[in-house]
A and B are shown apart, each in its own frame.
Chain A
């Protein structure tokens, strides 16, 4: 393909532009990766020190080093006990949930080809919370003997199926002939959330005081109940989700062109869509089972990243995981300190940050997406 084959007058630009562009992009991705990891580590240290009992960063590091060098004395100090049995599991839980929610958001946005898709916003988290709530209330009532022994398995499983059903319903309503209408998707999300809310109301009507407290916890979202058991329960789910994302990245990239184009490019479109829905449901289910509904992480993080590194899912998905983890533990540290010694449910905080951000997205929609 040389210039002499072009007709007279056709300008042939030398396109070292592409090579330069890809090099710049790669550099940018590397910088963002380094900054995100640095931010995650810094916020992790802050998070271990923040709360009703304030522990300075140096002391936090001392405790961690002592623990890692096998010093059993860690557990006998007050700071050691607070860090090892309360804050460390909470930190891990927060990182996993933040990563899961941000990646779920990025996956849904790719699947729906729509920057406003967020599990919290379009009813997927509500579906998961409802299913989790139903297992608490109805499970107590009708199958207490079996469920009482396995609460940590039943809850994530219920939340997973709730998220899966909600995503499927949403996809079936909002997508016609491979095209998703943004308006229909948001309205279907409103309907789903309303339905879940109504069912939640029914559940709270028939629940006792303890169950009512649990339900409120699920709707508001909080990392307050963190424990090593919870960490161990949702870790396999979140790790499975993160492991699956690199396999989806190429397919989601092609899907941004459209379903027919993705098929022409050689991708098994239906399988990719099914896998994306399944993986999203696993992540949202795990997150909601452990901490309830925490909104807007899935919309804020991928959007900020797309502005800096573009929409290539091969970089977007892993960086969303890192930055989502950082955002959630940062927000959690804030939630624990601003009203100390009490703590704010983190869902309230992410909504307070995320909702205005969402409105800003809507205001500049011309530049962000085609309405």
Chain B
């Protein structure tokens, strides 16, 4: 059985400098994978390689065994939806129109009633129904982000009629969201995973990542340095080695997800943690 999404040795360079180096990753249906790593580690570039937005200089990404660059855009779009970082809009669409863009291509053959239902469901799931008629430019950063999430959800739902084997990509989806909507968005993403889609999200908040991720993938200096359940990946040694902050990790008895309290932060207490890159791989 081939993996739903399989990256094999993906490499991407800009002027000899590797942004992603030999990244390999196998993703199965129902998995919620969170990619974490410091700024500039190559997380967004890896996501762009996995979505087919950019071509790798080496390696290949396959969706159900097929090279994604061998698939036409329309067929790829039925299989995966992408929520990119802060998208700007050239002309004043309303929020409802932005969300509808998600199904204009993938869902164009669906009956109108079904299309309407998909848009409504997506608006509700991202909690933006009340803003439907507002101009996108007049929304706050967090509201725009939720609109983009709704657009991605709508595309995913419209594509489900074509194939159940789908991937949802989220690039820092909660960057501008309040706590309530951070949790709501991650829960909606987890629901998509529960329905059989694979979800791949880039997050900065390690606690949020540990709470929702089935698998945590850690990137550092263009490489994947760790990949596994949050509990085994998120160690004090890794956090101090990769993120250069040495903080104690705790684990509440109820959920079992490790957490970090930044109150314990004291500048200068940076652990060297040698051998992290080696041990994670």
Q: When the two chains form their complex, are residues B87 and A258 in contact, meaning their CB atoms are under 8 A apart?
A: yes
Contact with A along B46-86 (1 / 0, CB 8 A): 00100111000000000000000000111111101110100
Bound Cα distance from A88 to B93, whole angstroms? 39
With CB as the reference atom, state the residue of chain A lying closest to B78. Answer: A266
With CB as the reference atom, state the residue of chain B lying closest to A114. Answer: B90
Given the interface pairs A266-B78, A311-B92, the reply to whether A7 lies near B187 with Cβ below 8 Å is yes
Q: Which of B81, B90, B108, B125 contacts A113 (CB 8 A)?
A: B90
Q: When the two chains form their complex, are residues B101 and A254 in contact, meaning their CB atoms are under 8 A apart?
A: yes
Contact with A along B120-145 (1 / 0, CB 8 A): 11111101111111000100000000
Q: When the two chains form their complex, are residues A1 and B73 in contact, meaning their CB atoms are under 8 A apart?
A: no
Q: When the two chains form their complex, are residues A19 and B106 in contact, meaning their CB atoms are under 8 A apart?
A: no
Stretch at the interface among B177-185, B199-207, B219-227, B258-266: B177-185
Chain B nearest Cβ from A310, distance in angstroms: 7
Chain B nearest Cβ from A183, distance in angstroms: 15
Q: When the two chains form their complex, are residues B53 and A265 in contact, meaning their CB atoms are under 8 A apart?
A: no
Bound Cα distance from A32 to B27, whole angstroms? 50
Q: When the two chains form their complex, are residues B73 and A256 in contact, meaning their CB atoms are under 8 A apart?
A: no
Given contacts A15-B132, A18-B119, A310-B93, 19 further A-B contacts (CB under 8 A): A1-B125, A6-B184, A7-B184, A10-B181, A12-B129, A18-B132, A19-B120, A20-B132, A250-B104, A257-B98, A258-B84, A264-B51, A265-B104, A265-B106, A266-B73, A267-B77, A306-B92, A310-B97, A311-B93
Given the interface pairs A19-B120, A22-B96, the reply to whether A268 lies near B127 with Cβ below 8 Å is no
A residues within 8 A CB of B51? 264
B residues within 8 A CB of A114? 90
Please report whether the interface of chain A is mostly helix, strand, loop or mixed according to DSSP: loop
Q: Which of B48, B129, B191 contacts A13 (CB 8 A)?
A: B129
Bound Cα distance from A288 to B116, whole angstroms? 43
For chain A, residues 113 to 149, give those with C-beta under 8 angstroms from any C-beta of chain B.
113-115
B1 at the interface (CB under 8 A from A): no
B residues within 8 A CB of A17? 96, 123, 129-133
Q: Which of B48, B94, B106 contacts A266 (CB 8 A)?
A: B106
Contact with B along A1-44 (1 / 0, CB 8 A): 10101110111111111111110100000000000000000000
Bound Cα distance from A369 to B53, whole angstroms? 26
Q: Which of A6, A261, A265 contacts B127 (CB 8 A)?
A: A6
Contact with A along B150-180 (1 / 0, CB 8 A): 0000010000000000000000000000001
Instruction: Give B residues with C-beta under 8 Å from A.
Output: 48, 51-53, 72-78, 80-82, 84, 87-94, 96-102, 104-106, 108, 116, 119-125, 127-133, 137, 155, 180-181, 183-184, 187-188, 191
Bound Cα distance from A16 to B122, whole angstroms? 12
A residues within 8 A CB of B128? 13, 15
**Residue of A115, A265, A306 contacting most chain B CB atoms (<10 Å):** A265
Bound Cα distance from A11 to B127, whole angstroms? 7
Chain A interface residue count, CB cutoff 8 Å, equals 45
> 6 closest A-B pairs (Cβ-Cβ)?
A15-B129, A266-B77, A113-B90, A311-B91, A13-B130, A17-B132
5 contacts between A and B (CB under 8 A): A5-B188, A253-B104, A268-B72, A268-B74, A312-B93
Contact with B along A243-285 (1 / 0, CB 8 A): 0000000100110111011011111110000000000000000
Given the interface pairs A13-B127, A311-B91, the reply to whether A254 lies near B191 with Cβ below 8 Å is no
Q: Which of A10, A257, A269 contacts B89 (CB 8 A)?
A: A257
Q: Which of A12, A115, A268, A310 contacts B73 (CB 8 A)?
A: A268
B residues within 8 A CB of A208? none
B residues within 8 A CB of A22? 96, 100, 116
B residues within 8 A CB of A10? 127, 180-181, 183-184
Q: When the two chains form their complex, are residues B87 and A261 in contact, meaning their CB atoms are under 8 A apart?
A: yes
Bound Cα distance from A265 to B102, whole angstroms? 6
Q: When the two chains form their complex, are residues B133 and A310 in contact, meaning their CB atoms are under 8 A apart?
A: no
Bound Cα distance from A268 to B82, whole angstroms? 16
A residues within 8 A CB of B131? 17
A residues within 8 A CB of B100? 22
Q: When the two chains form their complex, are residues B91 and A267 in contact, meaning their CB atoms are under 8 A apart?
A: no
A residues within 8 A CB of B93? 256, 310-312
Given the interface pairs A6-B184, A310-B97, the reply to whether A19 lies near B116 with Cβ below 8 Å is yes
A residues within 8 A CB of B72? 268
B residues within 8 A CB of A263? 52-53, 73
A370 at the interface (CB under 8 A from B): yes
Q: When the two chains form their complex, are residues A258 and B96 in contact, meaning their CB atoms are under 8 A apart?
A: no
Q: When the two chains form their complex, are residues A7 and B180 in contact, meaning their CB atoms are under 8 A apart?
A: yes
Bound Cα distance from A16 to B121, whole angstroms? 10
B residues within 8 A CB of A257? 87, 89, 98, 101
With CB as the reference atom, state the residue of chain A lying closest to B192. Answer: A1
Bound Cα distance from A7 to B123, whole angstroms? 17
Bound Cα distance from A267 to B133, whole angstroms? 25
Bound Cα distance from A19 to B132, whole angstroms? 9
Given the interface pairs A10-B181, A266-B78, the reply to whether A254 lies near B105 with Cβ below 8 Å is yes
With CB as the reference atom, state the residue of chain A lying closest to B116. Answer: A19
Q: When the two chains form their complex, are residues B183 and A258 in contact, meaning their CB atoms are under 8 A apart?
A: no
For chain A, residues 62 to 117, give those with C-beta under 8 angstroms from any C-beta of chain B.
109, 113-115
A residues within 8 A CB of B181? 10
With CB as the reference atom, state the residue of chain B lying closest to A259. Answer: B53
Bound Cα distance from A17 to B75, whole angstroms? 31
Chain A nearest Cβ from B54, distance in angstroms: 9
A residues within 8 A CB of B98? 257
Bound Cα distance from A18 to B95, whole angstroms? 9
Bound Cα distance from A13 to B73, whole angstroms? 34
A residues within 8 A CB of B124? 1, 3, 12-15
